[in-house]
Structure formats: C-alpha cells, structure tokens
Amino acid sequence: MTKHNKENDRLRKIVEAFPKVTVTVLADLVADEFVFGEISRVSREAPVLILKHRDRKVVPGGGANAIYNLADLGVNVLPVGVVGDDEAGKMLIRAFRHKRIPVSGVLKDKSYTTVTKTRILAGFAHTAGQQVVRLDREPAEGPNSHLRRELVLSAREYGRASDVLLVSDYGYGAATPALLNAIREKRGLDKVPVTLDSRYRMLEFRGSGITAATPNEAEVEAMLGIRIGDDWARLEAAGEQIVGEMNLDSLLITRGKDGMVAFPRRHKAIDIPIFGSDEVTDVTGAGDTVIATFTAALGAGATTDEAAHLANYAGGIVVMKRGTATVSQQELLQALDQVAPVARDH
C-alpha cells in the first residue's frame, strides 16, 4: 500500500467513526434568511431596483450552522443556546428536529430576539441571485442572568457525556469566556477537549481551557495587530504566538483561496492548499463547516494534521454551494476517493 493510500485509508476510518462521536455545542444561534427577488425595473421613487418576490428560505446560521454541519457529518450533536419566542426561533427549532437534533438544551425566551441575518438576493429568471443588501436583527442585549445560568447547567450536563465541547462565539452573549469558565468551575469537564470558533475575541478565552481554535487569517491579523499577506514567516510566527498565549494543542488558520495552515503544538506548521477550485461560489458559513469537521475529527481520535486535512476537504466542498450550506459524511468520503491530502513545503 502506498503512502497516499495509507493516508486516505486513515482519514476514511476517522470519517466513518463520526457516528460514534458526541459533541456538545455552546453557541450563538443565528437564523440565516434568504429572500430572492426577480429584477423588475428601476424605481421612480429612488435609484434602486424593484424586485418581485420569488422565494424565501430560512436556514440555521452562525453556531446553529456548525450544529447542522455536525449532524450532517453523522455526529451526535447536543446544542446549547438561546432563541426568542418568535418566528425565526421556532424555525430554528423545527430545523433541528427535522435533523433529529435534540433541542432540550435550546432555551426559548419571550424577552430575547432570535438573531436573524436577512440577505436580499436579486436576479433574473433562471439565474443565480446576487446579494444586494443584508439586514441584521439582533437582541438589544445578551441572555439575562437566568438564561446564562441555564446555559451553564445544560452545557455542563451535556459536556460530561460528550467527547468534545465546541464553543461557537458570534458575539451575542450565549458563548462567552465567562460562561465557559462557569461551565468548567466544578471540574466536570477537565478531560473534555474544547474547540473554539470566536469571531471577535479569541484571545479573551485565554485561561479557559481551550484545546483547539480555527480563526481565519483576517481575524488573526486583527487580534495581533499585524498584516500577514504572503509572508510565510510572519504567518508562522503569528500561529506560534497564539498557540503559546492560549496554551492550545491545535490551531487551524483558514486563508480562503490560499487554503489553511495547521499548527500542532510543538511541531512544524503544515501548509495545506485549498481542495478543489479556488473560484468559489459562496463563502457564507464556511467557517462553521471547518470548525464542525475539525471538531468531529479530533473527537474521533485524529491528529491535528489529520483533522486539518479533513476540514480542508469539507471547506473546499461547501464553498461551491450557494448560501449557508453543510457537508455530509458521504460527500467527505467521496472527496477522499478523488485526491490524497497534500501539503506545501517551506
């Protein structure tokens, strides 16, 4: 058996083990709404297009998309989060139930507004719509003290029965460093790895027991106040700095069309080129697919580089789909049949 065959066989076994993995997800739950309109004419009231409404779709977004991706990968997923007692919240819960995802850890509260991101897409008949504007509806403030307490109790209970705890922090208050510290207080999760996807404050999770994180390059540049560009040495130094400051076992930095770079603790960085075409269709929610696949692989016993390669396959698949999308376990297995994992030398 060749080295490539051995690598692919190992990755296949990891993916096939996903149904044996249980992941608790502490997340900011978001509803992604897509409104499609056919271009009719230019308005006489203002220089804007008039669209005839054609379709509307609401799908899980944000941390809810990470949950959906885990479910489609075959993982047993236990979501913990908050939705409002509104249409978007009800649609998210209905979507979870459709995938047979348990919803007992999803809190519903009348005082809370479900985060909803509405994208208006314009186009002609039989053409793909182009996003022209996005409207975000957000709660005035994060979950109240009662909801925060319930989130901690649920995450602690589910986490103890899980192989990994995934924290998906979009900045809406249901997946904060303070909540994670409270969850870990009674030492019930000491042996449970914790993966993190934090949009704005990754370094604030220092000292919270994070095992692995998956920021994109722009987030790394913002948190360290640097510009990476095509400077490999600067990227490598940035990754090593984050691993050291956060005491991580694994770091995965996503770089769009330039692929990803994995940083296993105390090992050389691994530069992975993008899987598939670099002419992407839509990057909406791709980071959720990456953290879901990376987390599932670690839960199944993968090394950092194995988990990174699988996340790269999944990311390459999902960016070729329109809108907020997922990657299935079968799609991942099919990708492994197409090409062996590749890394660039430096």
Distances in whole angstroms, Cα of residue 139 to Cα of each of 29, 30, 33, 95: 12, 11, 16, 21
User: Among 83, 76, 33, 24, which Cα is nearest to 55's?
Assistant: 33
Query: What SS3 string covers 198-245?
Result: ECCCHHHHCCCCCCEECCEHHHHHHHHCCCCCCCHHHHHHHHHHHHHH
Q: CA-based angle 319:204:243, to the nearest 5?
A: 70
Token code pair at residue 168: 């998906």
The pLDDT value given to residue 324: 75
Q: How many CA atoms lie within 13 Å of 41's alpha carbon, on the beta-carbon side? A: 3
Q: Encode pLDDT of 149-170 as tens digits.
A: 999 999 999 999 999 999 999 9
**What is the residue extent of each domain of the chain?**
3-30+60-114+140-338
Calculate what percentage of the chain has a pLDDT beyond 70. Answer: 96
Calculate what percentage of the chain has a pLDDT beyond 90. Answer: 79
Would the CA dihedral through 14, 19, 22, 28 be positive or negative?
Answer: positive
The pLDDT value given to residue 4: 57
Confidence tier at 3 by pLDDT (50, 70, 90): low
The pLDDT value given to residue 1: 42
Q: Encode pLDDT of 84-132 as tens digits.
A: 999 999 999 999 999 999 999 999 999 999 999 999 999 887 777 889 9
Contact (Cβ atoms closer than 8 angstroms) between residue 38 and residue 123: yes
Give 195's strand partners.
Answer: 166, 212
The pLDDT value given to residue 302: 96
Q: Encode pLDDT of 207-231 as tens digits.
A: 999 999 999 999 999 999 999 998 9
The pLDDT value given to residue 332: 93
Average pLDDT for residues 166-176, to the nearest whole number? 96
User: Among 21, 2, 8, which Cα is nearest to 306's?
Assistant: 8
| Residues labelled as active-site residues | 288
Q: Encode pLDDT of 246-294 as tens digits.
A: 999 999 999 988 999 999 988 899 999 998 776 666 667 788 999 999 9
The pLDDT value given to residue 278: 65
Question: Mean pLDDT, the chain, as a whole number?
Answer: 92
Average pLDDT for residues 322-340, to the nearest whole number? 88
- pLDDT > 90? residue 82: yes
Confidence tier at 339 by pLDDT (50, 70, 90): confident
- pLDDT > 80? residue 323: no
Largest CA-CA distance found in the chain, in angstroms, rounded: 69
- pLDDT > 80? residue 237: yes
Tally of helices (H runs) and strands (E runs) in the chain:
10, 13
Average pLDDT for residues 202-209, to the nearest whole number? 94
Q: What gap in Å lies between CA 213 and CA 21, rounded to an integer? A: 19
Contact (Cβ atoms closer than 8 angstroms) between residue 238 and residue 203: no
Contact (Cβ atoms closer than 8 angstroms) between residue 133 and residue 159: no
- The CATH-assigned architecture of domain 3-30+60-114+140-338 is 3-Layer(aba) Sandwich (3.40)
